[in-house]
Amino acid sequence: MNQLFQFLLRQRIFLLFVVLELVNLWGIFKYNDYQHTFYFNTTNRWAASILAMGEEVKSYHQLREVNQDLALENARLHAEIFKLNSQKQPESKIPYFLGEGMLQRYQPLACKVIDQSTQMSQNYLTIDKGTRDGIAPGMAVISSTGIVGKVMSCTSDLSLIVSVLHTGNNVSAKIKSTGELGYIKWGGIQPEVANLQDVSKYKKVVKGDTIVTSDYNAVFPPNIPIGIVAKVGLEKDETFHDIKVMLLTHFSTLKYVYVIKNKLAAQQAILEQAKPKPE
Amino acid sequence: MSSSIQWKWYGMLLLTVVLQILFLRDLAIGNIAFCFLYLWALLKAPLQIPIGLFLIGSFVLGWTVDIFYNTHGMHAFACVCIAMVRPLIFKVLTPANGYDERSSVSLAEMNALWFFPYLFIMLFLHHVILFLMEAMDASLLGISLLRAFFSALVGMLVFGLLELFSQNK
C-alpha cells in the first residue's frame, strides 16, 4: 500500500496530466455538438456491429431448433394442402360429394433423417420416428421439394425408408400438364436423375415438363412433385419415350422428411385384396 | 526572477487573452492560418515553474479561451498537452552551457537557434492537436496539418516580433 502511494506520488505530475486531459476530453465530447454526434455515431456503429455479430452467432446456434420448428410447420402446411387439394372440385358435370374420410385422408408427420445413402445402387434412409408415432410400412415419404420414398419397415422408434433411388422402387407418375401416365424408375447411377418410363412415343413430352405423382398411386398422395423433364430421347423401334427426369428432392442434403399417413390405406388394401386373382 | 518581471508576465497574460478573445477570434488569414496569441503566457512561463502548477495553469487558460471560442475542452486539451511536453523540449534543446538559474524564455537570453525551434515545436504541436480535435475526421487530416503548419508560421512571426520589441525596451 505504501509503495502504491509512493508510486502515485512519484507519478503525480503525469497523473495530473492524465486527469486534466480526461476532463478536457469529457468536455469536448459532451459539450461540442459535432464531436458529441461523432462520438455517438461511432460508438453506436461499433456497438451495433458487435451486437449484430453476437446475434449472428446466437442464431447459428439456434438453427437446430429453427429447423425443427420449420419442419413441424411444413408438416402442418402439407396437411392443409392435401385437404385443400382434395376439396378442389374436379371439373366434371356430375355432382360430386367428397366424404369426410377423403378430406382427412393424408396426415404428414415431420421426421429427421438420421442415416442415409445416395451412392449405392439400392439406397435407404433411416428416420427418427417409428410405430410409436403411428408410422407403418408402406407409407409415403416426401421432402419439402419432392418425393423421397416409402417406409419399408419400422421399429418402435425408427423407420427404414426405401429411397426412390432404389432400382426396385417404382413410383407411378404423370406429366402434370398433359396428365400422361408413366412410372419413375431410377437408373442406379446418378442420384439426381431418374427415368420416366411407359410414356408412349405418340404422346407429346417437352423438356421442362413437371412430373408429379399420379392419381392412381397406392402410396403417394396425388400431385406431389417428383422432377423436371431434362431430356427426351427416342430410340428407333422403341414404343416408349426415353425420358430423363431431374429429381426435385436433393437426396444428398436431406435433413427432414415428411411421412404421410394414409388413413384409408388399410381400407383400400382390403378392397383390393378382394379382387379376383388371375388364375 | 524579480517580481517586476512577474507582474509584467501577468499583465501580458491578461492582455493576450483579452486580445485573443476580442479581436483575434475572428481573424483567419486565407482561411488557413490562425493566430493564437494567448499562447504567449504559456510559451513565456518561467523555466523553473513547478510543472503541476503549470499544467493546471494551462488547463485554466485553455478553458477560458474555450468558453469564448465555444469549443469546450479543445484548446484546453492542446494547452495541457504542450505544457506537459515543454520540459521535454527544454531537455532536448539544452544549450551547450546548460540553463542558467536566472535565465528566462526569451530571444534575448537564448539565441535564435534555441528560441525558434522551441517556438515552432510548441506551436505546431498545439495547432495539430487543436485542428485534429476540431476536424475529428481522417479525411480532413491534410487540411488540418496544412492549417497547423501555416498557423505555426504566423505564430512564429508574431511571437518573434514581440520578442524583438521587448528587446528594444
pLDDT tens digit sequence for A33-44 = 888 888 777 777
Comparing CA positions, the residue from A72, A78, A102, A75 lying closest to residue A90 is A102
Torsion sign across C-alpha atoms A126, A132, A137, A139:
negative
Residue A32, chain B, CB below 8 Å: the answer is yes
Distance (Å) from the C-alpha of residue B168 to the closest C-alpha of chain A?
A: 37
Least confident of A92-96, A154-158, A272-276, B109-113: A92-96
In this complex, do A24 and B52 lie within 8 Å of one another by their Cβ atoms? no
Instruction: Name which of A17, A31, A35 is nearest B80 (Cβ-Cβ).
Output: A17
Comparing CA positions, the residue from A269, A266, A263, A271 lying closest to residue A99 is A263
- Phi, psi at residue A278, to the nearest 5°? -65, 135
Radius of gyration for chain B, computed over Cα atoms and rounded to the nearest angstrom: 16
pLDDT tens digit sequence for A113-140 = 888 888 888 889 999 888 998 898 889 9
Between helices B3-22 and B51-69, what is the axis angle to 10°?
Answer: 20
pLDDT at A49: 85
User: In the predicted model, what is the mean pLDDT of residues A97-121?
Assistant: 83
Instruction: Name which of B52, B73, B74 is nearest A16 (Cβ-Cβ).
Output: B52
pLDDT at B80: 93
Grid coordinates given for B23: 479581436
User: In the predicted model, what is the mean pLDDT of residues B15-40?
Assistant: 86
User: In the predicted model, what is the mean pLDDT of residues A228-253?
Assistant: 86
In total, how many domains does chain B have? 1
pLDDT tens digit sequence for B38-75 = 998 888 888 888 888 899 999 999 999 988 888 888 99
Q: Containing domain of residue B96, as a range?
A: 3-168
Q: Which helix (H) or strand (E) holds A225?
A: strand A225-233
User: In the predicted model, what is the mean pLDDT of residues A239-255?
Assistant: 88
Tell me: pLDDT of B169 over 70. no
In this complex, do B74 and A32 lie within 8 Å of one another by their Cβ atoms? yes
Instruction: Name which of B51, B56, B77 is nearest A21 (Cβ-Cβ).
Output: B77
Tell me: pLDDT of A22 over 50. yes
Between helices B51-69 and B74-92, what is the axis angle to 10°?
Answer: 140
Q: Nearest residue of B to residue A35 by CA position?
A: B136
Grid coordinates given for A104: 382427412
Chain A CB contacts of B59 below 8 Å: 20, 23-24
Confidence of residue B1 (pLDDT cuts 50, 70, 90): very low
Percentage, residues of chain B above pLDDT 90: 28
Inter-chain CB pairs, A–B, below 8 Å: 53
- Phi, psi at residue A269, to the nearest 5°? -65, -45
Percentage, residues of chain A above pLDDT 90: 17
pLDDT tens digit sequence for B75-114 = 999 999 999 999 888 888 887 777 776 677 888 777 888 8
Residue the block writes with cell 435433413: A255
Residue A40, chain B, CB below 8 Å: the answer is no
